[in-house]
Amino acid sequence: MTPRIGVLALQGDVREHLTALTAAGAEPVPVRRRTELDAVDALLIPGGESTTISHLLRELELADPLRARLAGGMPAYGSCAGMILLATEIVDAGAPGRAAIPLCGIDMTVRRNAFGRQVDSFEGDVDFDGLDEPVHAVFIRAPWVERIGPGVQVLAEAAGHPVAVRQGAVLATSFHPEVTGDRRVHRLFVDVVAGWA
């Protein structure tokens, strides 16, 4: 059965992830409402601005239902801002009242904009556990992981910090595989969702 994977469509690289998931063998659908969240097997949280996405999650009353789905075992994948939101703790979360909100999908502490500002964005190849060839990673105002819990597997590192992690059926990368044309990370996620079902 083809997994039905939602892409949180509030802000960020929504279209690119929908295209990548289709190429990876999933049935992707945009998610903006509670009813749409309830109808998917898994959720992908794209890159973008973590504080803006958090604000919209609050405004649309999606934060608590999303946190509940994650606590109930829903598979998820977050890239860049999505990695930040999937954390249990966020360093430099943003201004009070507009801070990024942890959805507690992976037991980790993530630092926002860890590699620097927009002008410090860069690309490079990273070895990715479980993939034969390195992944060409695009880091845009990217976070990194500063602490992982005992159940978290590090899949890739850059600058001495984890930049791809997995805990159970939840995956996160600090980089943007959706912009490179390499569908292996999305295929890995689709396989995780199919196996979890």
SS3 84: helix
Contact 51, 94 (CB under 8 A): yes
Flag whether 157 is marked binding: no
Is residue 189 within a helix (H) or strand (E), and if so which, with residue range?
helix 184-196
Flag whether 141 is marked binding: yes
* 6/78 Cα distance (integer angstroms): 12
- Catalytic residue selected from 16, 17, 55, 178: 178
- Catalytic residue selected from 61, 80, 123, 186: 80
* 179/176 Cα distance (integer angstroms): 6
Q: Which two tokens stand for residue 109?
A: 């502490």
Q: What's the one-letter identity of residue 29?
A: V
Q: Is 104 a catalytic residue?
A: no
Flag whether 112 is marked binding: yes
Flag whether 50 is marked binding: yes
Q: Is 178 a catalytic residue?
A: yes
Q: Which residues are annotated as a binding site?
A: 48-50, 112, 140-141
Catalytic machinery residues: 80, 176, 178
